[in-house]
Structure 1
């Protein structure tokens, strides 16, 4: 029998079938009349040749191109036009053919909006040697789809590449792709750092608010945090697995980061909140928090941030 994974403190973030029905019956249709803007001056030539500078480029949703320590990495790469019945709201920030050669792909968990097999297969075709860093328990799926060059990580395991350490860290979430595989693989985020690093990066993946953020902040010296802010409504149903924008700010404070880059909004309508509601709510609460010596960097789709 395959192992079933759980959250810290055994917190369950999986709603019951009755909860799902309640949500669907109370669902309100909202007009989505706002698109996250596309970057007008994308740094495609720079990204294709860069092997020396650190950069973070938002492709959309939870997909980033991260360049650090001479490595090109993608987080949860999804170039899908549809996510179930939800049509993509914005074009990806870069086309697949505009990417540089990818060395590493970081997968936070197995939900379809984070692990899109057709995209992974296209990336492998472009570079057969690309390495997939995946949560413990996900190897069975990768093998089934002939994505054999992978490394499974448990919480706080690390992978070393060049001078970079990539640590798999906890999140509060759950996973399922089929009716029978609930929580048979783990979930988490990634911290990318080198020794004495002042520009480390934390990619949070998907998570509800939990004490693990403070624990991550105590273990690592984080500079830039890529934090989810969307798919939080209805809060009574989503709160255990998706942070609200204000909880994302608290999580950012917990990990002790200096730069906040929001993600997990704008590409697909996965819950009842709209992209504009998520980003507006984030900005309102950021101003109310009166945070000092830190920066909120809201990227356009395809925009590159150099820390």
Structure 2
């Protein structure tokens, strides 16, 4: 095995000509594939899809036209619409019915987006974290191409966007720790512990990562997908504290724990990042694992309450102003007759002390 090549300490790593993580070697072997396939076939899958429709608050174009404040709208999964310093910023826009290379098979949405692409205002910046189908939606990118000023993307992802009709002049690629400003907002691309690939032959040929967003008044972290790793503390030391962290909390399993976090790890990542308020993302839109669909929000909510962490769980489409306190409700409990009792959090409390 060749040694991992670095340009500088904690910089983008390359192994055998492909992008790599610093702390784990997440190659998928045939044994891994068989273990995951066997688990999907044999393990009991309970409540992985909501029994009732997910609540969605519709967003109108007129509503966004008169928006003056710094505000966040969760559109579903990891798609977040933000207004900061009078600029519209959109993360990982996924609007298709399925997170899949085809629209006749694959994970299907639990709910429709609260607003269509056609109704969106001109978007100043779209941030892409990596090329997986539940984060990089070809159909959405093609529709957005004419109404987005700038696409900020990981290294080697730009070629895909160009192929789909986005002018090269609108695309800027980033390595880990690269940063750039658009108006008064600084965007920094930071590491995650994950992987990339949209097919059988392109694994880890494009980069993956998270985003730091620093406006004149607010500092926000968007995790995208990641296993828990020391990079969160490194990001927190360099860019923290954060007013809001949007942390992956969903699609976890012990079989792929190196690249997706369990809720207790998501909470710890928020702590490492020196976050003030945490919003769990990457849940409640697609069935991408074997846990109950509501489990990520329920576990994160209970852990946060035990630790005194300010956690917000807006309804999809709900307006969340950043300069006001936000009162969350456990909206998912309205959809389930019985929420399974949570296990004690004492082990996590002991490990965090």
When normalised by structure 1's length, the TM-score is 0.90
Classify 1:46/1:275 alpha carbon distance in 2 versus 1 (closer, same or farther; 3 Å).
Answer: same
Query: For residues 174 and 33 of structure 2, what CA distance do their matches in structure 1 show?
Result: 31
Q: Which residue of 2 aligns with 1:12?
A: 25
Listed one character per residue, the Cα deviations across residues 16-47 of structure 1 (whole Å, up to 9, x for unaligned) are 23212212212233232356743447475332
Shift of 1:176: 0.7
Q: Secondary structure at the match of 1:86?
A: coil
Is 1:103 matched up with 2:124? yes
Match of 2:160 among 136, 141, 149: 141
Shift of 1:97: 2.5
Query: For residues 36 and 55 of structure 1, what CA distance do their matches in structure 2 show?
Result: 26
Match of 2:221 among 195, 202, 211: 202
Q: Which residue of 1 aligns with 2:73?
A: 57
When normalised by structure 2's length, the TM-score is 0.79
Query: For residues 83 and 54 of structure 1, what CA distance do their matches in structure 2 show?
Result: 30
1:37-48 equivalences under 5 Å are 37-40=54-57, 42=59, 45-48=62-65
Match of 1:76 among 83, 86, 92: 92
Listed one character per residue, the Cα deviations across residues 271-300 of structure 1 (whole Å, up to 9, x for unaligned) are 112321111111222233x22xx4110011
Shift of 1:109: 0.3
Query: For residues 28 and 305 of structure 2, what CA distance do their matches in structure 1 show?
Result: 33
Q: Which residue of 2 aligns with 1:224?
A: 244
Q: CA contact under 8 A between 2:60 and 2:119: conserved in structure 1?
A: no
Shift of 1:208: 0.4
Instruction: Report the aligned-residue RMSD.
Output: 2.0
Q: Which residue of 1 aligns with 2:280?
A: 262
Shift of 1:179: 1.8
Q: CA contact under 8 A between 1:7 and 1:173: conserved in structure 2?
A: yes
Query: For residues 251 and 258 of structure 1, what CA distance do their matches in structure 2 show?
Result: 12
Q: Which residue of 1 aligns with 2:257?
A: 239
Shift of 1:137: 1.7
Shift of 1:71: 1.0
Q: Which residue of 1 aligns with 2:340?
A: none
Classify 1:47/1:3 alpha carbon distance in 2 versus 1 (closer, same or farther; 3 Å).
Answer: farther
Q: Secondary structure at the match of 1:280?
A: helix
Q: CA contact under 8 A between 2:128 and 2:151: conserved in structure 1?
A: yes
Query: For residues 121 and 155 of structure 1, what CA distance do their matches in structure 2 show?
Result: 26
Classify 1:20/1:101 alpha carbon distance in 2 versus 1 (closer, same or farther; 3 Å).
Answer: same
Q: Secondary structure at the match of 1:25?
A: helix
Shift of 1:303: 1.1
Shift of 1:92: 1.2
Query: For residues 217 and 277 of structure 1, what CA distance do their matches in structure 2 show?
Result: 27
Q: Which residue of 2 aligns with 1:276?
A: 294
Match of 2:313 among 288, 298, 301: 298
Q: Which runs of 4+ in 1 moved over 6 A?
A: none
Shift of 1:180: 1.8
Q: Which residue of 1 aligns with 2:348?
A: none
Question: What count of residue pairs does the alignment treat as equivalent?
Answer: 296
Classify 1:97/1:219 alpha carbon distance in 2 versus 1 (closer, same or farther; 3 Å).
Answer: same
Q: CA contact under 8 A between 2:151 and 2:172: conserved in structure 1?
A: yes
Query: For residues 194 and 91 of structure 1, what CA distance do their matches in structure 2 show?
Result: 30
